[in-house]
Amino acid sequence: MAKGTNQHRDIRLWPGRPYPLGATWDGSGTNFALFSAHAEGVELCLFDPSGNQETGRITLPEFTHEIWHGYLPDVRPGQRYGYRVYGPYDPPAGHRFNHHKLLIDPYARELSGSLIWDDALFGYVVGSEEEDLSFDERDSAPFVPKSVVVDTAFTWGRNPKPAVPRDRSVIYEMHPRGYTMGHPDIPEATRGTFSALAHPTIPDYLEDLGINAVELLPVHAFLRDRHLEEQGLTNFWGYNSIAFFAPEPAYLHDGDIRDFKNFVQVMHDRGIEVILDVVYNHTAEGNHLGPTLSLRGIDNLSYYYLMNDDHRYYNDFTGTGNALELRHPQVLRMVTDSLRYWTEDMHVDGFRFDLATTLARVSGEYRENSAFLDIVAQDPALSGVKLIAEPWDTGPDGYQVGNFPPGWSEWNDRYRDTVRRFWKGDPGLLGTLASCISGSSDMYNRRGRRPWASINFITAHDGFTLRDLVSYNHKHNEANGEENRDGSDSNNSWNCGVEGPTDDPEILDLRNRQMRNMLTTLLLSSGVPMITAGDELGRTQEGNNNPYCQDNTLSWIPWDDQDAKNTDLLAFTRQLIALRRDHIVFRRSRFFHGGLIPGTEVKDITWLSPSGREMTDQDWKNDNLHTLIALISGEAGNRFLTEEGEPEPDDTFLMVLHSGHEPIRFKAPTLPPSGRWRETLCTGTCTARRGTYTLSERSAVLLQWEKP
């Protein structure tokens, strides 16, 4: 069909408006608006409810401020649609228009159907000697998910956001599908969906554990990689976004976006926040040899970060083939519109930004005053939600831990590596560990940032589980089909004597103790702790540290596997979270400084040697010392104000972390007024005799000062 013709003249078409972008139902009809600065024409293709049969093709009649738009008074919610965009196909100039390819609306609120891999999805002839300089004329419509017009109305009722103070947050990272796929109490038909996450058994469990924020791996609609599907695998994690406003269709029970909203409502009713792991740094269209599915065919030159010397190729700071061009105002608008949509319409409470350094690159360099960071800081809707950066990417100078601006928290991988190495027994870590457990002030104490700028974690979706961290020295990723080449080789793990499963009771006891040691460190550290779902149950991935393609029991939570469940570890984790909740000294909103607390004669935190005296420079440099002892003053954390308006102090604690392979004797100080130390928790054994304590090897103990 020639550009600009109209197959169905009986479909009423009005000029419409250039804003808002996307397909907007107003109660009477639907406005369609699509940005493309370099297109020569745009056709809207309508499909039947199955998405298989095209029922109409309409040329958008208006072009205003680089927005193509039109209003169809007869289009209602549920309508399937896509775009065909006309323009030059000239890859060296950055243009990849191909009107034979049906394109997903970047602002689609819902997608229908799954992508079916076929060579027709590519703008060039696959296999041609000219590669992407060739031009493919096959229609891709049969293989592309269809965008859907939706009615976004939802009755939230009196459902305020929990607004959990950042210093009180305990984050729980979970996979939206894998968390419920093996749960015996959830109806099988709903498992793996938001409906399953809203089942009462899930918020009951989270509330009992003490979790007040769940962080979901990507929920934006994403693609399953072709090479994985050909191997019988899939993109399980979802870091392959193709539509930034639409939930992943596979996670919606009955394909309705209200499923997600109901899940959020249920979590909020329990005081649990919902944080989304979002991927705005790249899209699933890949490099110059990738498919044409959406942005590439709409306006490749505007949307993507292209090489300066040859626009045929993409700058790749992400390791995925492309990067979005957030210097362009319309691309920046798309990302911030998406964030506002999920905040205001879907009621989520925050975002964790994958490879966030890429979002703040200007002319290839990370800039703390980039347009993206500036616009988020001043936006009334976004500046008030939780913003968490994964502060690195794969590009030049991509590691930016500690360099994000005020208002942002960051994944602190130095914390992760230090805690792992300490409990493995590596020497020379006492100073770094002391900094980490007291909030990493050397990285974050600037420009008014607080300890909650540090997201402390020991495990995450990417890497070993907690159980595997103490069970394997090496990764075992053979199931991924890459001959064990994928995944990190730097795990700082220790198998405690045997690689993998064992029946040896001494090794099993040591592994359980090591898991408790690391959880104790994590949950009693200053900053915001993040727990990976299933770690509290001792979940294993059989040594696979990169199960991104494993949508099976290897990645699912083993709810019904009694051999895998560690109920003692679960109870211990629950105890630690309760301790953190009840004692503000473990979740201070101010950094420890090791100095006198104003108005008192005591220090906020004092680092002690096993002899009971304060640590010296020589002690800190002693590689043979594997014991960190922190005296945390109750004056350092004020729980509440008395009736007279004076702050009431918290309890004082002595925390001892001992990673040595022999027991350690330490002297506990006597504090005024007279009292005694009481053991609050211990991962091993701790005995006392006349003020001197003996702590078993590789153990942690927390003592609490009791006044008479």
- Residues 338-373 have pLDDT tens digits of 999 999 999 999 999 999 999 999 999 999 999 999
Token representation of residue 492: 């700082």
**564 falls in which pLDDT band (50, 70, 90)?**
low
Residue 495 has pLDDT above 50, yes or no: yes
The catalytic site residues sit at 354, 390
Which CATH number, 2.60.40.10, 3.40.1190.20, 1.10.30.50, 3.20.20.110, labels domain 22-149? 2.60.40.10
Give the mean model confidence (pLDDT) for residues 626-632.
98
Residue found by looking up tokens 């249920």 in the block: 266
Amino acid occupying residue 228 = L
Domain ranges in the chain are 22-149, 593-706
What's the chain's average pLDDT?
A: 95
Residue found by looking up tokens 């297109």 in the block: 39
Residue 562 has pLDDT above 80, yes or no: no
- φ, ψ for residue 351, nearest 5 deg: -140, 140
Could you give the C-alpha distances from 518 to 424, 498, 503, 573, in angstroms and in order?
A: 10, 20, 22, 11
Residue 5 has pLDDT above 90, yes or no: no
Token representation of residue 193: 């969906």
Please report the pLDDT score of residue 649 as a whole number: 74
Strands 664-667 and 647-649: unpaired
Give the mean model confidence (pLDDT) for residues 464-483.
97
Give the mean model confidence (pLDDT) for residues 671-695.
94
Please report the pLDDT score of residue 8 as a whole number: 56
Residue 595: CB partners within 8 Å, gap ≥ 6?
A: 603, 604
Please report the pLDDT score of residue 648 as a whole number: 65
- φ, ψ for residue 244, nearest 5 deg: -85, -5
The 3 state secondary structure assigned to 358-386 is: HHCEECCEECCCCHHHHHHHHCCCCCCCE
Element (H, E) at 277: strand 273-278
Residue 567 has pLDDT above 90, yes or no: no
Top CATH class, 593-706: mainly beta
Could you give the C-alpha distances from 99 to 7, 22, 147, 291, 578, in angstroms and in order?
A: 16, 19, 17, 14, 59
Residue 488 has pLDDT above 60, yes or no: yes
DSSP state of 690: T
Residue 148 has pLDDT above 50, yes or no: yes
Task: Write the pLDDT tens digit of every residue in 268-297.
Answer: 999 999 999 999 999 999 999 999 999 999
Residue 465 has pLDDT above 70, yes or no: yes
Task: Write the pLDDT tens digit of every residue in 576-615.
Answer: 999 999 999 999 999 998 888 776 778 999 999 999 999 9
**11 falls in which pLDDT band (50, 70, 90)?**
confident
- Label residue 167 exposed, middle or buried (CB < 10 Å: 0-12, 13-18, 19+): middle
Task: Write the pLDDT tens digit of every residue in 508-554.
Answer: 999 999 999 999 999 999 999 999 999 999 999 999 999 999 999 99
Residue 6: CB partners within 8 Å, gap ≥ 6?
A: 13, 57, 58, 59
Please report the pLDDT score of residue 2 as a whole number: 36
Please report the pLDDT score of residue 1 as a whole number: 34
Token representation of residue 487: 């995944």
Task: Write the pLDDT tens digit of every residue in 419-462.
Answer: 999 999 999 999 999 999 999 999 999 999 999 999 999 999 99
Please report the pLDDT score of residue 630 as a whole number: 98
**158 falls in which pLDDT band (50, 70, 90)?**
confident
Q: Are 284 and 115 in contact (CB under 8 A)?
A: no
Give the mean model confidence (pLDDT) for residues 144-148.
98
Beta strands in 128-257 (DSSP E): 146-148, 171-174, 213-216, 220-222, 241-247
What is the distance of C-alpha 527 from the center of its chain? 17
Token representation of residue 394: 């794969």
Residue 7 has pLDDT above 80, yes or no: no
Please report the pLDDT score of residue 707 as a whole number: 85
The 3 state secondary structure assigned to 596-635 is: ECCCCCCECEEEECCCCCECCHHHHCCCCCCEEEEEECHH
Task: Write the pLDDT tens digit of every residue in 371-387.
Answer: 999 999 999 999 999 99
CA–CA dist 277, 112 (Å, integer): 22
Residue 35 has pLDDT above 60, yes or no: yes
Q: Would 22-149 and 593-706 be classified into the same CATH topology?
A: yes
